[in-house]
């Protein structure tokens, strides 16, 4: 198992190491650009935030904490057959799912052609029968499709933050309509906690079962889990057993995600 550097300190040191290199790229009007150090390759829209981060020696490894937390859907769907993702970025989640879930059909929806044009530089797989990156507005695609998915992952950001069309009650209704029974929706929220609470309230008005919002250890991201079934209510004992079993085949910190999920669920139940 690869030794992880997914710590707030490690990421901060990396950002500091890259800051001088990337400052000269500001003023590109929000166009994506790549910065490389000896160990990492990063995708930026500006110098304020890292859109994606890749370990040059282990391109499939999930480097940033929140991406590992998003993979917590494995606790509820260990072997999904259909996965849809909104937001490609550097393809971290897409690459991981393609490698570790070979039985899944994966659809990635990305509306920025310039981000898609950089996918080869981040070792994103070529399109095939079971893996496809499609240039499309994710909200519009889900609204119009009749496809059903086991898992929906939403991580769609621009220079200005999360796209407005990915925060509406109508969008969350489209997500619900596209999920199979007991399907799981996972959303990366980054930014003002107050806004994230508003988004969670919208989701809870749409879904019958309550959501769980997990706060990352570095407080920079909040990951929301919600299902159109009762799977998020699985007992703590079963979830802990599942995380141990999944650790045999997945090189991510599922035990940490499980503990954080259970802690938040317990707080919500008070």
Phi, psi of 80 (to 5 degrees): -65, 150
pTM (2 d.p.): 0.88
pLDDT the model gives residue 194:
78
Q: pLDDT digits over 238-256, tens only? A: 999 999 999 999 989 999 9
Q: Say which residues have a Cβ less than 8 Å from residue 28's Cβ, sequence separation at least 6.
A: 46
List, in sequence order, every residue forming a beta bridge with 82; answer none if it has no partner. Answer: 105
Q: Which residue has the tokens 């990492």?
A: 40
Active site residue 155: yes
pLDDT the model gives residue 135:
97
- Of 75 and 9, more confident: 75
Q: pLDDT digits over 83-133, tens only? A: 999 999 999 999 999 999 999 999 999 999 999 999 999 999 999 999 999
Strand order in the sheet with 40-46: 33-36, 40-46, 49-55
Whether residue 27 has pLDDT greater than 50: no
Whether residue 81 has pLDDT greater than 50: yes
Q: Where are the domains of the chain?
A: 8-55, 65-268
**Contact (Cβ atoms closer than 8 angstroms) between residue 17 and residue 9:** no
Whether residue 137 has pLDDT greater than 80: yes
- Active site residue: 55, 155, 238, 268, which one? 155
**Contact (Cβ atoms closer than 8 angstroms) between residue 239 and residue 73:** no
Whether residue 18 has pLDDT greater than 60: no
Binning the chain into helix, strand and coil, the percentages to the nearest 5 are 40, 25, 35
Whether residue 2 has pLDDT greater than 50: no
Q: Which residue has the tokens 């490690």?
A: 10
pLDDT the model gives residue 19:
54
Q: pLDDT digits over 185-231, tens only? A: 999 998 767 788 999 999 999 999 999 999 987 777 899 999 999 99
List, in sequence order, every residue forming a beta bridge with 133; answer none if it has no partner. Answer: 108
How far apart, in Å, are the Cα atoms of 134 and each of 42, 115, 126, 127? 22, 11, 11, 9
Mapping DSSP onto H, E and C, the string for 52-119 reads EEEECCECCCCCCHHHHHHHHHHHCCCCCCEEEEECCCCCHHHHHHHHHCCCCEEEEEECCHHHHCCH
Half-sphere exposure in the Cβ direction for 267 (13 Å, CA): 11
Strand order in the sheet with 82-86: 131-135, 105-110, 82-86, 149-154, 179-190, 221-227, 212-215
**Contact (Cβ atoms closer than 8 angstroms) between residue 232 and residue 209:** yes
Q: What is the CA radius of gyration of the chain?
A: 18
Which is nearest to 258 in space by CA: 269, 238, 123, 191?
238
> In terms of CATH architecture, what is 65-268?
3-Layer(aba) Sandwich (3.40)
């Amino acid at each position: 198992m690869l030794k992880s550097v997914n710590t707030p300190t490690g990421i901060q040191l990396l950002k500091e190491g890259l800051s001088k290199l990337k400052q000269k790229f500001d003023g590109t009007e929000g166009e994506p650009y790549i910065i490389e150090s000896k160990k990492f390759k990063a995708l930026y829209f500006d110098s304020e935030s890292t859109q994606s981060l890749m370990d040059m020696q282990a391109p499939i490894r999930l480097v940033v904490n929140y991406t590992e937390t998003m993979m917590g859907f494995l606790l509820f769907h260990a072997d999904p057959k259909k996965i849809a993702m909104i937001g490609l970025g550097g393809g971290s989640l897409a690459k991981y799912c393609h490698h570790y879930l070979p039985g899944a059909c994966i659809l990635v929806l990305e509306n920025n052609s310039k981000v898609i044009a950089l996918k080869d530089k981040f070792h994103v797989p070529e399109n095939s029968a079971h893996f496809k990156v499609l240039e499309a507005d994710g909200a519009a695609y889900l609204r119009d499709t009749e496809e059903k998915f086991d898992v929906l992952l939403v991580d769609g950001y621009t220079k200005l933050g999360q796209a407005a069309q990915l925060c509406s009650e109508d969008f969350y209704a489209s997500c619900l309509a596209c999920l199979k029974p007991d399907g799981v929706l996972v959303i990366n929220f980054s930014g003002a906690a107050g806004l994230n609470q508003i988004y969670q309230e919208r989701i809870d008005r749409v879904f019958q079962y309550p959501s769980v919002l997990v706060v990352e250890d570095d407080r920079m991201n909040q990951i929301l889990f919600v299902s159109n079934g009762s799977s998020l209510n699985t007992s703590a004992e079963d979830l802990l057993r599942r995380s141990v079993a999944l650790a045999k085949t997945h090189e991510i910190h599922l035990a940490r995600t499980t503990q954080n999920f259970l802690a938040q669920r317990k707080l919500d139940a008070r």
